[in-house]
Structure 1
Amino acid sequence: MAKVIFHDHQGNSREVEAKNGMSVMEAAIANMIPGIDADCGGACACATCHVYVADSWIDKLKPKDDMEDSMLDFADEVQDNSRLCCQILLSDELDGIEVTTPENQ
């Protein structure tokens, strides 16, 4: 199990637990986290699961592939720490990962 801490743009936080191997997006959907719509169901074919990953966690993630990078072009307010959370798979190494949903998602 891995813990994910979701923050919204207003500073509210919610901590959830999910099984290793699940994506951060799946954990969000299972726990009804606002701001994560996941319209494509995790196929990396939209940008409705766009999040900002806390700086302390960025280096622990595998790098963005070309598909994720191109899908982020459809997201608003993209930053250096922007990721699609359907592409972040939970593991022991990511236990406690913190992500923030953008204001206009």
Structure 2
Amino acid sequence: MTIHVFYSYAQEDEILQKRLETHLTVLLQQGAITAWNKRNISAGTEWMNQIDEHIENAQIILLLVSAHFFASQYSYGSELQRALQRHRLNEARVIPIILRSVD
């Protein structure tokens, strides 16, 4: 069974998201997980709808936490809230990963 993973992060943290994804490459290659992030948005499509769809289908939601994440209206205001709602309903596991200190 393949586990669907969604990365929630601020654009400013994209380099760190790529580093994390590198560590998960073996799981991707083995087919144990599929992963989706904002770089996978198809050109010419409604980006918010794509993000919402992938949050809804994810079994694991990785929250890449930083000051930029909390400053991002969409990441903090929308993605985080939906992720926590799905977690409370036992529909998905939410795993926060601290990328940078948040004061």
Name the TM-score class by shorter chain. 0.3 to 0.5
**TM, length-normalised to structure 2:** 0.33
- TM-score by length of structure 1 reads 0.33
Relative contact order (alpha carbons < 8 A, sep ≥ 6): 1 or 2 greater?
Answer: 1
**Whose Rg is larger?**
2
